[in-house]
Chains A and B, each alone.
Chain A
């Protein structure tokens, strides 16, 4: 999986932030591209650019190998994301893709938990295969 971050800051500011602060938190510095969207033109087409504030909201997009957006999440600036949840979603989408849709991941699924196999026999019978406590960790 390729990770990339993007904000309205220039690549020069990205360098300073990485070198002066982030490299003190992440050994060796940020291992993925820190992209620059000065003017917010990319953010606008992704629908996450805040014109009034002149910054981009915390939009996170999962894009599959065909370039299709499988999921996104957008938060306003003061609340940070849950990285585990993002990775869980990516793992779920990867499983669905690998099984060509033969398996689906019910609420609360994480690797190792039971998947569902959509089909004519499952109609009306999910209750036999799955219980609501599986929705929680």
Chain B
């Protein structure tokens, strides 16, 4: 399900699947790309990939690999915080 990855010096990151990078042209023209939340109950969850840590291994996962299972996805402010 989740593939193991080898840690390098770069800090890997994932992101939404299918999201296109903002072009340089748009950036230079100062085009403001409005971030619109697509979240709605009863609608498809946005797919994403993310690196992570599990069982003393670094992994890379994709939300859509978990189709067929119930998923509880929990965001939180940060490691070593108090709550």
Binding site for B on A (CB under 8 A): 1-18, 21, 29-39, 41-48, 53, 55-72, 77-81, 86, 90, 93-94
Interface residues of B: mostly helix, strand, loop or mixed? loop
Contacts of B50 in A (CB 8 A): 6, 35-37, 42
Interface residues of A: mostly helix, strand, loop or mixed? mixed
Say yes or no: B41 contacts A56, CB within 8 Å: no
Given A4-B73, A68-B44, A80-B83: A36 in contact with B55 (beta carbons within 8 A): no
Contacts of A58 in B (CB 8 A): 74-77
Say yes or no: B78 contacts A33, CB within 8 Å: no
The reply on B37 being an interface residue by CB < 8 A is yes
B48 to chain A minimum Cβ distance, whole angstroms, is 5
Tell me the complex Cα distance, A80–B77, Å.
Answer: 11
Tell me the complex Cα distance, A30–B32, Å.
Answer: 40
Q: Which residue of B lies closest to A51 (CB)?
A: B35
Say yes or no: B7 contacts A12, CB within 8 Å: yes
Q: Which residue of B lies closest to A89 (CB)?
A: B72
Of A4, A56, A72, chain B has the most CB atoms within 10 Å of the CB of A4
